[in-house]
Structure 1
């Protein structure tokens, strides 16, 4: 009795889940809609955009080092005690002095053998490298959105297929029991059909579970639960051949461009290590005002200093840093070759997976047609007594497997096609022409590249930008 009660509860829960599945929103959502939502929703993109803005500020910082540094200080001091001197007639007398001192200093690098300029160049190349890293993250976000979309589409079709299979086998079980009552089939035939129905119910529960998992993944990736997803009508436009795709990838894939900028940074750092062994020429100026309060004593002074300074011996550290910069440059050049081969391999792998998925889909279509004909024939033969119930159930299972395989193969084909776009660097909001405002990495850079101060008009504009971004 307990098992019967549990079975009823299980059927009620399953029916409730099926009803929720059937009551899908009427509004439709295309793959392009999902990609646009993922682009706007992604916290990973926001994180890497902020990291790019931080790299932009490195350029401003390097430029600021080339400008004069002006600083001020004000000091107030009181000195007191006792003294004995000729001015006090040899007697011990107390004294107290209050002094106010103001200093204004300025420092400007006159010549540094290019150290400052090289620092700016290195920071700019780092910015360009970070931009390519951001594009790589964007491609991953888009790929995840495609996978989430196709997973929901595939799992929802699997649910519909499993529900249809349960209905069909339920009718077959009813027919088998009727035929058993009149003696046309044995109890074994009824038991086989009951087992098939139990298996179909289990598959339906599994399909519903997979659908719920896919919905949660979709929400995490896109930002909301799926709304009546519309199947794509065609694959994205792809390169005409694998070779042309590899050529495109080598020229424009973000991993390749990032590696090239990293090589440029390493080359500049070698020059910076060389320049670090050379002297600096700086001009320094200072103005000092000192007033002893309570009397007429005061002093004003100004100094101008032209200073040249450089290393003579640093224990071999500067030479070690120079050799280290060369080694790191060589490592980055080697990495460029590795990235090139990896990018070309990824293109080849993406095309191979697409070919496999396409072939699998075509084969699944043929399998469905053949399995449909076979199932109808076996079922007809069973009514004539030349086939058993087990034959019918096996033929039906083969047809179900063929249909399920087609659903998976069709989803795999779309994922593989978009992975081809990712392998050549074209799985971005701009390349896909999504209906979203595309983030412009140069906009913030153009505001900070001249290192504006807080009180300047450009600095005030930056404050407004940061507030709009919700960072302050």
Structure 2
């Protein structure tokens, strides 16, 4: 088993005292503020999908000692006590009672390669399971990053919509006042009322989206999001698609798992072929019987021994001559499954390449969208200011102001969405490259969970009573976490302070 990339075992983390150090960047947190580092650390300790995957891998580890046991000696014993309640009529010397004990020691000497190949296949599947565990870890981290950024984005959208509603209410009041003095028409008032009603509906939609994002965060992390801080800059992003794909083809855990399963399938062919090979076993057995003084010779003055002993040793050679074609069918089946594993490997490789290229393209595209949208936000802000100024001199209508305000809001929402999408896509690039796991991201606070350590613990276990402690729940339930709401306070990491903007 390969352990060069592993860290010491810790089956149960206690409390994470430090967060995730991305690169050399460390972000301070104060009070109840939560960082992305802290959210990832909590998910690493307390996400049930991840802890269940670890338990599943521990179960997978046990297949190696199970397969090894078929090639190890076995020792058994039995004891009997018999009370003959009714003796046969023509059996005068039958004992009334007896007690017997026996034992047998069996050694499988040659099994046609079945044990060797089964153990080899089990080891390959352990390696595949460890790679799957890495993939699960990266997937959970990617989901946490997405949920973290979703909450920040949706908080920003709620704040922007709150600001828009406030501005439109002020606009409506100003429009109504100007209507009262005859400066505007009833149409202007109706337009302002309609736009305010739509904005209030958009705000309710944004609040519902924020609640959903917070609940998703609770599901993944186990705690409610509180005062989320700006995410740190992601390290070691590739310079090109080619660089990303080259690293992914080497380090992506899905590819590694597919490769190990292919090795297991090839070993299964050898296991199937062993069914038509000779098998040799050695046995040693012995028995002891005591008739407890109830055995009689039925001849006066002639006694008989009340105990008997026996011992035997031998070899058993089994030569399978004809099995109805079952061995050949099993070999062909294993060969077909190996062909399937080969094609599955190619399919996984294709998927990884496509995911890596897609994530890289999404990241770069959103970086460009951010730059363009920032220009759009600035231009819309100037446009809104100009439309208001022109309205004050009578060259622009109230509808022009309302449209300019809506365009300004839309540009701001697009900007925060692009920032969220860019960060999540960049993390997806790292995940596709196999660089988004705890060992790569530098989670601190104690040793990380090491699946290889459990394998080393159990692979040579031959004692029949070496149970683990009774299974216990590892993660916490969220039933006591208060339901999420849409309240928003403070500055937003994506848009900064949001101050009410006075209407003109």
- TM-score, structure 2 normalization: 0.82
Q: Distance in 2 between matches of 1:470 and 1:171?
A: 53
2:454 is the counterpart of 1:441: no
Matches within 5 A, 1:388-399: 388-399=397-408
Q: Which residue of 1 aligns with 2:501?
A: none
2:79 is the counterpart of 1:74: yes
Q: Which residue of 1 aligns with 2:254?
A: 255
Q: Which residue of 2 aligns with 1:57?
A: 62
The C-alpha deviation readout for 1:65-107, integer Å capped at 9, x for no partner, is: 221100000001122435566x97xxxxx97510111011010
Equivalent residues of 1:361, 1:410 under 8 A apart: yes
Q: Which residue of 1 aligns with 2:432?
A: 423
Q: Which residue of 2 aligns with 1:16?
A: none
Q: Which residue of 1 aligns with 2:463?
A: 453
The C-alpha deviation readout for 1:414-449, integer Å capped at 9, x for no partner, is: 111111111111121111112354210012111111
Range 255-264 or range 179-188, more displaced: 179-188
Q: Distance in 2 between matches of 1:280 and 1:422?
A: 48
- Contiguous gaps of at least 5 residues in structure 1: 1-24, 89-93
Q: Secondary structure at the match of 1:376?
A: helix
Matched residue pairs, number? 435
Matches within 5 A, 1:361-440: 361-436=370-445, 437-440=447-450
When residues 469 and 181 of structure 1 are mapped into structure 2, their CA distance, relative to the original with a 3 A threshold, is closer
Q: Which residue of 1 aligns with 2:265?
A: 266
Q: Distance in 2 between matches of 1:317 and 1:51?
A: 32
Matches within 5 A, 1:270-285: 270-285=269-284
Equivalent residues of 1:61, 1:451 under 8 A apart: no
Q: Which structure shows the bigger proportion of residues in helix conformation?
A: 1
User: What displacement does 1:208 show?
Assistant: 1.4
Question: Whose relative contact order is higher, 1 or 2, with alpha carbons under 8 Å and at least 6 apart?
Answer: 2
Q: Distance in 1 between matches of 2:215 and 2:89?
A: 88
Q: Which residue of 2 aligns with 1:287?
A: 286
User: What displacement does 1:256 show?
Assistant: 0.6
Range 292-301 or range 50-59, more displaced: 292-301
Q: Which residue of 2 aligns with 1:180?
A: 179
Q: Distance in 2 between matches of 1:320 and 1:84?
A: 55
Q: Secondary structure at the match of 1:313?
A: coil
When residues 84 and 222 of structure 1 are mapped into structure 2, their CA distance, relative to the original with a 3 A threshold, is closer
2:122 is the counterpart of 1:123: yes
- Contiguous gaps of at least 5 residues in structure 2: 1-29, 295-304, 476-504
Equivalent residues of 1:26, 1:227 under 8 A apart: no
Q: Distance in 1 between matches of 2:258 and 2:283?
A: 41
Q: Distance in 2 between matches of 1:467 and 1:26?
A: 36
Equivalent residues of 2:69, 2:462 under 8 A apart: no
Q: Distance in 2 between matches of 1:310 and 1:59?
A: 27
Q: Secondary structure at the match of 1:108?
A: strand
Q: Secondary structure at the match of 1:124?
A: helix
Matches within 5 A, 1:213-362: 213-295=212-294, 296-362=305-371
Equivalent residues of 1:242, 1:348 under 8 A apart: yes
When residues 450 and 83 of structure 1 are mapped into structure 2, their CA distance, relative to the original with a 3 A threshold, is closer
- TM-score, structure 1 normalization: 0.88
Equivalent residues of 1:290, 1:299 under 8 A apart: yes
The C-alpha deviation readout for 1:239-270, integer Å capped at 9, x for no partner, is: 22211111111111111101110110111111
Q: Distance in 1 between matches of 2:88 and 2:79?
A: 28
Q: Distance in 1 between matches of 2:89 and 2:51?
A: 72
Q: Secondary structure at the match of 2:86?
A: strand
Q: Distance in 2 between matches of 1:122 and 1:411?
A: 44
Equivalent residues of 1:81, 1:95 under 8 A apart: no
Q: Secondary structure at the match of 1:463?
A: coil
User: What displacement does 1:109 show?
Assistant: 0.8
